[in-house]
């Protein structure tokens, strides 16, 4: 059974499950990346930062906000990966960028941009909750929000900051998600084809999925990190106590302010744990998805027999 023949509920379901399962593994990398990205002062190395965090706050603190992260994956991974395949398969039926029945790199780019943007807007409330919960313990005691759960965070954000706060930082999040759609999902799909055609690594096997995942994970980490930084700064900030205004107002205004005050490399603060999150999540998610779909195909073939 080809991927295009798998029913839509199975496509979306395996995408969501793969996202949630892999997030459980890489969440500590995300927590470290957010905290390193938002920390003030001179940046420290990831190993030193990790050791300090575990020593002062305990290993369990690296799982702060894991509930919000998993809820985010239910919406984000399900819609991004699922919609990508829907859009890609529809494009194979048309002659927009390639002959009918074929999928070009441009087809994958269009599918990735579209699915990424839609998935980001859908999951933005969970993303804001995740960023705030992940970094809350790094603030001075008097400045902490002290969210007790995902539900508590959602209710308090709506009550204290207004519903619109759930989409604070949505622009860089959507821009990042569009890039992720191309550089993660799109290059992964292209990578599986490349490693099969050029290196003879059979498509859908663990080695094929691993190689394609590592390639797409590295590319997507390097390209999207500045947008991740802008999103974190915009989502975590508080209005100025005197003026009531926000310091970070848009993606490129944030880029400019960070570059002027901290230097351009500050946009990549926390890159190593971010790559651990992105690369690790890419590898595990796609391996889990491929494995679950293989189980479905095998089960379906037995039922037919």
Separation of first and last alpha carbons in the chain:
14
Confidence of residue 185 (pLDDT cuts 50, 70, 90): low
Q: What is the pLDDT of residue 3?
A: 63
Q: What is the pLDDT of residue 298?
A: 85
d(C-alpha 112, C-alpha 133), whole Å: 29
d(C-alpha 208, C-alpha 214), whole Å: 10
Ranges 76-85, 129-138, 192-201, 233-242, most confident: 192-201
Q: What is the pLDDT of residue 43?
A: 76
Q: What is the pLDDT of residues 21-43, one digit of tens each?
A: 999 999 999 889 888 888 777 77
Q: What is the pLDDT of residues 44-84, one digit of tens each?
A: 888 898 999 899 889 998 998 888 888 888 888 888 888 88
Residue 99 has pLDDT above 80, yes or no: no
Residue 10 has pLDDT above 60, yes or no: yes
Closest listed residue to residue 20, CA positions, set 285, 295, 294, 286 = 285
What is the pTM for the complete model shown? 0.71
Residue 305 has pLDDT above 60, yes or no: no
Q: What is the pLDDT of residues 108-152, one digit of tens each?
A: 788 888 888 888 888 888 888 887 887 777 777 878 888 888 888
Residue 259 has pLDDT above 90, yes or no: yes
Confidence of residue 264 (pLDDT cuts 50, 70, 90): very high
**In the Cβ-directed half-sphere of 83, how many Cα atoms lie within 13 Å?**
23
Q: What is the pLDDT of residue 28?
A: 93
Q: What is the pLDDT of residue 101?
A: 74
């Amino acid at each position: 059974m080809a991927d295009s023949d798998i029913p839509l509920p199975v496509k979306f379901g395996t995408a969501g499950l793969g996202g949630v399962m892999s997030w459980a593994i890489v969440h500590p990398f995300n927590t470290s990346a957010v905290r390193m990205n938002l920390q003030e002062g001179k940046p420290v190395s990831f190993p030193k930062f990790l050791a300090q965090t575990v020593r002062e706050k305990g290993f369990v603190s690296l799982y702060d906000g894991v509930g919000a992260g998993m809820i985010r994956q239910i919406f984000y991974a399900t819609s991004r990966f699922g919609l990508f395949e829907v859009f890609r398969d529809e494009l194979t039926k048309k002659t927009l960028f390639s002959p009918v029945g074929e999928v070009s790199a441009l087809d994958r780019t269009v599918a990735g941009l579209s699915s990424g943007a839609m998935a980001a807007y859908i999951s933005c409330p969970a993303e804001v909750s995740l960023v705030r919960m992940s970094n809350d313990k790094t603030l001075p005691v008097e400045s902490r929000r002290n969210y007790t759960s995902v539900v508590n965070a959602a209710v308090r954000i709506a009550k204290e900051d207004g519903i619109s706060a759930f989409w604070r930082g949505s622009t860089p999040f959507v821009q990042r998600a569009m890039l992720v759609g191309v550089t993660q999902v799109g290059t992964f799909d292209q990578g599986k084809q490349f490693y099969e055609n050029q290196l003879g690594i059979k498509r859908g096997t663990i080695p094929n999925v691993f190689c394609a995942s590592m390639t797409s994970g590295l590319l997507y980490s390097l390209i999207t990190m500045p947008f991740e930084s802008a999103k974190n700064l915009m989502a975590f900030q508080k209005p100025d106590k005197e003026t009531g205004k926000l310091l970070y107002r848009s993606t490129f205004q944030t880029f400019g302010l960070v570059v002027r005050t901290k230097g351009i490399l500050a946009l990549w603060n926390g890159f190593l744990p971010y790559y651990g999150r992105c690369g690790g999540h890419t590898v595990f998610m796609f391996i889990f998805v491929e494995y679950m779909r293989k189980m479905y195909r095998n089960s379906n073939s037995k039922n037919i027999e």
